[in-house]
Amino acid sequence: MDPKQERALLKRAASEPKALQALYDHYFPRVYAYTSYRVGRAQDVEDIVADAFLTVVDKLDTFQWRGKGSFAAWLFRIVRNRVSDFYRRGRGSEAVVPLEDLPDLASGALSPADAFAQKERFAHLRRLIETLSPRRREVVLLRFFGGLRNKEIAELLALDERTVASHLCRGLKDLHRRYMDEVKREVHDEQAV
Amino acid sequence: MNKRYELMEREQELLEEIEESIAKGGDDRHGGDSLYGFCARLVRTVPQADDGFRKRLGNRLVAGMREGAVHKEDQGVSERSKGWRVPSLRRLLPQALMPVTHLGWAALLLGLLLTFSAVGYAVAPAVGRLFQQEAGLQHVEQADLVQELDLSQTVNGVTVTLERAYADANRIVVGYRVEGPKGRHYDERVTLTEDDTVFPMTTGFGTRGQSDIYNVSLPPGEGAYVLSFDASPVEGAPEELDLRLTMELREIVPPTDTPDSSPGSSSDPAEPMVVELEPMPQEDVVGTFAFDFSVPFIPGRVAEVNQTLEAAGVTMKLERLVVTPSETRAYLRFDPPTEVETSWTSIVTLKAPGERKSREYFYAVADDSPVHIYGFPASLYERRGEWTLTVAELVGTELVPPYEDVRLAGPWVFRFRVP
């Protein structure tokens, strides 16, 4: 979204439903995807996403525009706080979430088998991401699923932008290495059978 | 520039590829097994919300904005009583619903009515596999420190089997299974006590049905769970603990009359906004299960550190480290001076002798200033010598609007010996 357009929408969002709806439509998929990777279970994701957006609307008048990306950083600060609250209340933990409880993936009409395979892929990636250190995990998730730029992530996490870039690269390399290790192991197991 | 953060050329290329991949929604021209291919795979694996939920929430926001008091009215939507959406069917980490004394009395009275049968039961692999999912539990499992219990009770067609337990100075862990009719969902409110002492629940996880992730396959209607409780209320070093696990089991009954969520979802402000209210699911109490059992207690090693350091104007004290086979805990004390009420946590890492890398803390047992207790579930019991605990940064959240984040960079680096 163009920063000027976003700023104009933000000015009107407290009083114009259309402006609020446009902001919501733009950010909802990103918030949902990020929260899904953090929390897993679709019902918990919905709880947190709803709570976060309600907070956003409630506190919109306190938001101060500080340039491009400042709203995204503010929004995701609220989302991250909600996720932290969720874990602080002793929910979720390192939960093993059954596949049927995970959110669906973005796709068109799928056969049940394909939908299942997609969920398996999501569960697998999510589990890999959970093996990263909390900071690297956060950077990867905010970049890939929150859709935040490195600069916005740096602002959100109070890090240097180069540090964010470094965490992103190294986090991805770690993930890829672990992913390939698992692929090789699976191939080896199949050959053994 | 700090050399640590200087990006190598290849990393810069990777960053550019990431940007391109995200922009193109996961273009995979490099092949699935390459690093770039993996990034593309990640980009393509995006969870998507149920469309009905998205529309209902959008409507709710707009309607609330019009009313001018969305959040104040509802105080959030999750599992609260306004009932405009279906809350979670099963919380993996249930909190005790009632005061312990109530549960204790309820357990005592209902216990007389229960069909109680402690039966020998071959340990199902599911709970054992769950123990393998965390380094600390994996270690106690391998060291044969877990007490097998195999206690079963059946109430109203639902069987709960308390399979195993473990206790040390940091935590008490129980593993159990719940078996009920296929298609039924349950929520357990679990309390662990020893006489008048209540052990707060800290973490937990579990699975129901089939989980390919953890290679656990349970018959329909069956779930396996592992819960950890804070053992710090245990006084002294008893040889064993005589515990009571009380579980109030409730069946979650989905609403029978769910309205169609598709209408009223238009974003056209000219149309009246209709907020679809879904009925809340009902919860029917199945019964209360009460298990009495004993488990050996491992006192662990305590390093009384009592070191005080100052950085960023904040005095921090590492009081002690408690090392047990399943977990290591650091007891810190700090309370940064602030103008407004602020909730503080910290970024803490721990390095034990012989470890190549520091490990970040897994969860906070307590994080309310001035007491901050951080748990590292790992097998560090045999590590003796010089340890290093580093608090890199304090992270505060102001508890009054506009809820700014406050960060205080340290580090506070504690070096000490653990005998």
Token pair of B175 as six digits: 């593993």
| Percent of chain A's residues with pLDDT above 70 | 92
The predicted pLDDT at position A43 comes to 87
> Quick one: which of B63, B318, B367 has its CA closest to B202?
B367
**B195 CA to chain A: closest CA distance, Å?**
24
Taking an 8 Å cut-off on Cβ atoms, the answer to whether B77 and A54 are in contact is yes
CB-based burial, B45-55: b 16+ in 10 Å, e otherwise: bbbebeebbbb
A55 in reach of chain B (CB within 8 A)? yes
Token pair of A154 as six digits: 């740096």
Q: Is the pLDDT of residue B113 over 50?
A: no
Residues contacting residue B313 through CB under 8 Å, at least 6 positions apart? B336, B337, B408
Nearest to A21 among B11, B62, B363 (CB): B62
Taking an 8 Å cut-off on Cβ atoms, the answer to whether A51 and B33 are in contact is no
Instruction: Indicate the pTM of the whole model.
Output: 0.49
Q: Is the pLDDT of residue A114 over 70?
A: yes
Phi and psi at residue A136, to the nearest 5°: -65, -40
- B16-55 confidence digits (pLDDT tens): 777 776 666 655 555 667 777 888 888 888 888 887 788 8
Angle between the B9-23 and A161-192 helix axes, to the nearest 10 degrees?
80
Contact B418, B388 (CB under 8 A): no
Q: What is the rounded average pLDDT for all residues in chain B?
A: 73
Nearest to A163 among B5, B41, B210 (CB): B5
List chain A residues with CB under 8 Å of B88: 41, 43-44, 47
Pairing of strands B282-298, B158-168: parallel
Q: Give B259 or A111, the one with higher predicted confidence.
A: A111
Three-state DSSP class for residue B71: helix
CA–CA distance, A105 with A122 (Å, rounded to integer)? 8
Taking an 8 Å cut-off on Cβ atoms, the answer to whether B47 and A57 are in contact is no
Taking an 8 Å cut-off on Cβ atoms, the answer to whether B206 and A172 are in contact is no
Angle between the B9-23 and A134-144 helix axes, to the nearest 10 degrees?
40
Q: Is the pLDDT of residue B391 over 90?
A: yes
A105 in reach of chain B (CB within 8 A)? yes
Taking an 8 Å cut-off on Cβ atoms, the answer to whether B46 and A55 are in contact is no
Three-state DSSP class for residue A87: helix
In the beta sheet, which residues pair with residue B345? B395
Q: Is the pLDDT of residue B211 over 80?
A: no
**B390 CA to chain A: closest CA distance, Å?**
15
Q: Give A132 or B362, the one with higher predicted confidence.
A: A132
Confidence of residue B255 (pLDDT cuts 50, 70, 90): low
> Quick one: which of B353, B413, B414 has its CA closest to B385?
B353
A174-183, B68-77, B209-218, B267-276, range with greatest mean pLDDT: A174-183
The predicted pLDDT at position B397 comes to 77
Q: Which residue has the tokens 């056969």?
A: A111
Taking an 8 Å cut-off on Cβ atoms, the answer to whether B35 and A124 are in contact is no
Contact B152, B138 (CB under 8 A): no
Q: Which residue has the tokens 């998730």?
A: A141
The predicted pLDDT at position A118 comes to 82
Residue in chain A lying closest to B366 (CA): A88
SS (H, E, C) B12-70: HHHHHHHHHHHHCCCCCCCCCCCHHHHHHHHHHCCEECCHHHHHHHHHHHHHHHHHCCH
CA–CA distance, B10 with B16 (Å, rounded to integer)? 10
The pairs formed by B258-262 with CB atoms below 8 angstroms and a separation of 24 or more are B261/B52, B261/B53, B261/B55, B261/B56, B262/B52, B262/B55
List chain B residues with CB under 8 Å of A55: 71, 76
Q: Is the pLDDT of residue A95 over 50?
A: yes
Taking an 8 Å cut-off on Cβ atoms, the answer to whether A127 and B6 are in contact is no
Residue in chain A lying closest to B229 (CA): A90
Three-state DSSP class for residue A118: helix
Q: Is the pLDDT of residue A120 over 90?
A: no
Angle at B390 between CA B387 and CA B391, to 5 degrees: 150
The predicted pLDDT at position B265 comes to 39
B45 in reach of chain A (CB within 8 A)? yes
Q: Mean pLDDT, to the nearest integer, of B211-223?
A: 71
Contact B344, B336 (CB under 8 A): yes
